[in-house]
A and B are shown apart, each in its own frame.
Chain A
Amino acid sequence: EVKLLESGGGLVQPGGSLRLSCAASGFTFTDFYMSWIRQPPGKAPEWLGVIRNKANGYTTEYNPSVKGRFTISRDNTQNILYLQMNTLRAKDTAIYYCARDPLSYGGWDYWGQGVMVTVSS
């Protein structure tokens, strides 16, 4: 059974940093692209970025809205996906999800339960 479990959320002050983790299980982690997506309360989701699979060199792409502030990485020995977030702003307040890219078609076929990040003084 595919499982994705995020952790590391919480309250952070504006200008601060936070690292989110997503523990993956139930599939061959290195075979899949993995994305981070966020959703402000009551609003639509927003894709943040993707890290590709082993076959594609674990390269990354980012939404221009967070490029330079957010960094996606992965630990392929422990099957963990990371999102490093720097210079956080109030507008970054949202539920953050990790999600798996099915590869053979678009969209994301599995999502984590999400973790809340609140940026406030």
Chain B
Amino acid sequence: DIQMTQSPASLSASLGETVTIECRASEDIYNGLAWYQQKPGKSPQLLIYNANSLHTGVPSRFSGSGSGTQYSLKINSLQSEDVASYFCQQYYNYPTFGGGTKLELK
């Protein structure tokens, strides 16, 4: 199975700051990557698919990039409602998730 290594595990940032979360696959996943946001007590919500496509209704301050084995999620101009955990997930092979990043406000 494809291992997904996500970093950092936790992150503290200020309102208005730009935040970047990284995800590394154990082999090439050919842009078969999604990012999810999960708030406490809620189910994950799809943000990005195909590594860089914004899901319907997701604010444009979220963006995804990368290729091969290295991918990233960027949040521009951090808002208070962005406080959450974020997970990457590959679907090139049977689906696997990264370990998650917990984003808090500084």
Which residues of A line the B interface, CB within 8 A? Answer: 35, 43-47, 61, 63-64, 97, 102, 105-109, 111-114
Closest to B53 in A: A105
Query: Does B97 reach chain A (CB closer than 8 Å)?
Result: yes
- Other-chain contact of B45, A102, A111, A112, A114 (Cβ < 8 Å): A111
Total A-B pairs, Cβ < 8 A? 50
Main secondary structure of the interface of A (DSSP, over half): loop
Query: Does B66 reach chain A (CB closer than 8 Å)?
Result: no
Instruction: Give the interface size class of chain B.
Output: 20 to 34
Q: Whole-angstrom distance from the CB of B28 to the nearest CB of chain A? A: 15
Scan B62-80; emit 1 where CB is below 8 A from any A CB, else 0.
0000000000000000000
| A–B complex contacts, Cβ < 8 Å, 14 sampled | A44-B98, A47-B94, A47-B96, A47-B97, A102-B49, A105-B50, A107-B36, A107-B46, A107-B49, A108-B34, A108-B44, A109-B46, A109-B55, A112-B43
Q: Write out the residue numbers on chain A whose beta carbons fall within 8 Å of the beta carbon of B49.
A: 102, 105-107
Assess whether A44 is in contact with B100, with CB atoms less than 8 Å apart.
yes
| CB contact under 8 A between A44 and B99, given known A109-B55, A113-B43 | yes
Closest to B6 in A: A44
A61 to B1, CA, bound (A): 14
Q: Write out the residue numbers on chain B whose beta carbons fall within 8 Å of the beta carbon of A46.
A: 97
Tell me the chain B residues, 52-106 only, with Cβ under 8 Å from chain A: 53, 55, 87, 89, 91, 94-100
